[in-house]
Amino acid sequence: MSTTKQGKPLLRRLRGFLLGSEHHLLDDNAFVLRVVQPGLAGLMDGSVSTLAPIFAAAVATQSSHTAWVVGMAAAIGAGISMGFAEALSDDGELTGRGSPLRRGIIIGIMTFCGGFLHTLPFLIEDYHLALPLACILVGCELISISLIRHHFFKISLSRSSLQVMLGGGLVFAAGLLLGQS
């Protein structure tokens, strides 16, 4: 296990950074509430909310460059929006959710990552290669979200997969239909 110069395990230090100065007083539920939940919400939002604009642009223009620009704009915009929304939501005292700034940073970064990942294939100039690769990445993202929900929130894997795939599938289909219009 990696350790720092002070001898503390790296994961413990990371947990301390993410939870703040009171991290040693908090249990695993607090970690889930203050770190995992905003991170997962961001990943879900970024992965799903950017699908329609990216795939509509890709199908309508059949241009990898256009899909890349739209994808980056959607990922950056969604990350900033979700980060500010979370940071301005509550002070964390009443809900026990911890620092709003920390939650805003976590959710903003994860929202960006969720939209950015399936935008990456559009760096490939060949649209007919980039599109299927992007679709594969979307599937991997949705499976990852289902597994995280199953692990941390104890939702059955089948139920989690059905919920995530249904939501993602509807937005994905909307993007494809709008792109063909």
HEC sequence for 133-154: HHHHHHHHHHHHHHHHHHHHHC
Task: Kindly report the backbone phi and psi dihedral angles of residue 3, in degrees, each rounded to the nearest multiple of 5, phi listed first.
Answer: -130, 160
Q: What is the pLDDT of residue 93?
A: 74
pTM for the whole structure: 0.82
Strand partners, 9: 3
Task: Give the chain's mean pLDDT.
Answer: 87
Tokens of 53: 């604009």
- Interatomic CA distance for residues 124 and 94, integer angstroms: 48
Q: What is the pLDDT of residue 90?
A: 76
Q: What is the pLDDT of residue 99?
A: 83
pLDDT in tens, 11-69: 566 666 666 656 555 667 778 888 899 999 999 999 999 999 999 999 999 999 999 99
Give the confidence band of 2 by pLDDT, cuts at 50, 70, 90: very low
Q: What is the pLDDT of residue 7?
A: 47
Which residue, among 120, 137, 116, 133, has the nearest Cα to 74 in the 3D structure? 116
Between 86 and 11, where is the model more confident?
Answer: 86
pLDDT in tens, 129-144: 999 999 999 999 999 9
Domain ranges of the chain: 26-180
